[in-house]
Amino acid sequence: MEIKANNPALKSWIDIKPDSDFSIQNLPFGVYSDKQVTHHACIAIGEQIMDLHMVHHLHYFKGLSLPENIFANQYLNEFIALGKEVTRKLRDRVSELLSNTNTELQNSPNKDQIFKKQSAVQMLMPVRIGDYTDFYSSIDHATNVGKMFRDPENALLPNWKHLPVGYHGRASSICVSGHSFHRPKGQMKPNDAPPVFGPCKLLDFELETAFIIGKQTQMGETISTEKADDYIFGMVLFNDWSARDIQTWEYVPLGPFLAKNFASTMSPWIVTLDALEPFRVAGYKQEPKVLPYLEYTGNKNIDINLEVLIQPENSEATTVSESNYKYMYWTAEQQLTHHTVNGCNVNVGDMMASGTISGPEKHQFGSMLELTWRGANPIKMKDGSERKFINDNDTVIMKGYCQKNNVRVGFGECKAKLLSAT
Ligand code: MN
C-alpha cells in the first residue's frame, strides 16, 4: 500500500532543518496547551506545531466528515477511534496543506493562530491510557539480566524464545515528557541482613518504545500477526523507570510491582505506524521456530536509532547509550497477537511497551544496570562525575529517529528529572 504523505520528494513551504525530527514525511500527533488554548490536538512540523482544531474550525478539512470538536478533546482517543481510513486521510490532507505546492495556509490570515513555536507551547498527555503492558523482548537485554542474576550459561529462561514475556503495568503514573518525580521509597534487602525501608538507592532508566492501540477488540477475539498493524496507531519513546534494589527483593515469584509503578515517562508525539513504514527492516531470526500463531511474514522490525543522555543539574548532558529498535527479538505484531491469543480485549489508547531495548555492543545497552554491570563499571560524565545509577537532580533524556533517503522521521524527546526522596 502506498502512503501519499510518506513521499520522499515532498517539500514543505515551512522552513525545516535537515536534522529536524519533524519533517513533512512525519506529521506526528500530540495535544498542546498555551495561554489561549486549554487543549487542542496538533501536529509537529519543523520547530512549530499546527493547531488541528483551528484548521478544522476554518473549514480546511471539509470533505473528511470529522466531528466538529474532535480536535478540542483533552485526548486523541476519540480521533484515533475514527479508524485508520479517517486518520490516514487527515494526515494526507495535512501533508497537502504543508506542501510547497499548496498556498491555502500560506496565505491564510489566521496563520498566527494555526502555527505556533513548539518552544512556546506545553505538550500534554496525548492519550488517555486505559491499560499498559510492558514486554521483555530484547534478546540482548534479557541475556544480560539473566547472566547477572541467574546463570551465565543459561541466561535465557526456557520460555523466552517461545513467547514474548510481559507483565501488566500501571497506567496511572505514566507522565508526558518534561515532568519530574521524587525518588521512590520502598523495601529493600541488603545481603545477609533483614529487609529495610527507605529511599531506593539503585534508580535506573529503561530505554523503550511503546505502541498505542488504535482499534478495539471484543473479549474472545484474537488479533493475528497479519492483521496486527491495523490495530496499532503509532509509537512513542518510553522510559520505564525502575528501582533495582526494590525490584530484586519484591519480584519473586510474580514479577515487577512497586519497583516500576512509581513513574514512567512517554514522549508527547505519537509517530504514526504509517510514517514508520519506510523504515521497516527484517526481524531477528527466530530459532527455534515459533508456534504457528506467532509466525509472520514481511519485514516487521523498524530501524529506529535510539539515544539516552544523562544531564546532571546545571551541567552538560552526556550520551550514555546508543541503541536501535531493530535489535528486538519479538516484533510489536507478535507481542499484540500473543497478548490477545487468549481472548484478552484491547481498547483504543492502550499502551504496550517494548521492554528495555539493548543492542549487542556494550555502548548499546538500554539501562544503567547493564551499562555499568550492576555498578561495577561506573560511567564517566562530561562534568567529571561518575554514575553507577541515576543521581538526585539528574535529568534523563531519550531521543529517537529514523533516517533513509534524506528523510528523517523522529520522536522528539522523552525526558524527566529525578528529585530527591521526600
Ligand atoms: Mn521495562
Question: What spacing in Å lies between the alpha carbon of 371 and ligand 1's midpoint?
Answer: 15
Q: How many CB atoms lie within 10 A of CB 160?
A: 18
Half-sphere exposure in the Cβ direction for 345 (13 Å, CA): 9
Residue 50: per-residue pLDDT: 98
Determine the Cα–Cα distance for residues 49 and 164; give it in Å rounded to an integer. Answer: 37
Residue 119 CA, ligand 1 centroid: distance in Å:
30
Query: CA 369, CA 207: separation in Å to the nearest integer?
Result: 12
pLDDT the model gives residue 2 = 83
- Catalytic amino acids? 141
Report the pLDDT value the prediction gives residue 286, as an integer from 0 to 100: 98
CA of 264 to the centre of ligand 1 (A): 10
Ligand 1: distance of its center to the CA of 334 in Å? 17
Beta strands in 52-103 (DSSP E): none
Please give the Cα distance from 166 to 133 (Å, whole number): 7
Ligand 1 centroid to residue 236 C-alpha, Å: 14
| Cβ < 5 A residues, ion ligand 1 | 134, 206, 240
Could you tell me which residues come within 8 angstroms of residue 188 by beta carbon, excluding any fewer than 6 positions away?
A: 195, 196, 197, 198, 200, 201, 245, 246, 248, 249
Cα 95 to ligand 1 centre (Å): 35
For residue 347, how far is its CA from the centre of ligand 1 (angstroms)?
21
Q: What is the pLDDT at residue 150? A: 87
pLDDT per residue as tens digits for the range 140-163: 999 999 999 889 999 999 999 999
Using the mean position of ligand 1's atoms as its centre, give its distance from the Cα of residue 384 in Å. Answer: 29
CB 206 within 8 A of CB 240: yes
Joined together, the cell numbers standing for residue 191 give 545481603
Residues whose CB falls within 8 Å of the CB of residue 19, separated by 6 or more in sequence, listed in order: 408
- Smallest Cα–Cα separation from 337: which of 280, 277, 300, 296? 296
> In this predicted model, what pLDDT tens digit does every residue of 214-272 receive, in sequence order?
999 999 999 999 999 999 999 999 999 999 999 999 999 999 999 999 999 999 999 99
CB atoms within 10 A of CB 380: 11
User: Ligand 1 centroid vs 233 CA: distance in angstroms?
Assistant: 21
Task: Output the CA 243–ligand 1 centroid distance in Å.
Answer: 11
What is the Å distance from ligand 1's center to 196 Cα? Answer: 25
- Per the CB < 8 A criterion, the answer to whether 225 and 295 are in contact is yes
Residues 6+ apart with CB under 8 A from 168: 131, 132, 133
Q: How far is the CA of 38 from the centre of ligand 1 (A)?
A: 32
d(CA 320, CA 363): 7
> Residue 129 to residues 18, 91, 171, 172, 355: CA-CA distances in angstroms?
33, 22, 6, 8, 18
Kindly state the cell numbers that stand for 101.
Answer: 505546492
Q: What residue ranges of the chain have pLDDT lower than 50?
A: none
Domains of the chain: 4-123 (2.30.30.230), 132-419 (3.90.850.10)
Contact 110, 58 (CB under 8 A): yes
Give the model's pLDDT for residue 219. 98
Give me ligand 1 centre to Cα 104, in Å: 45
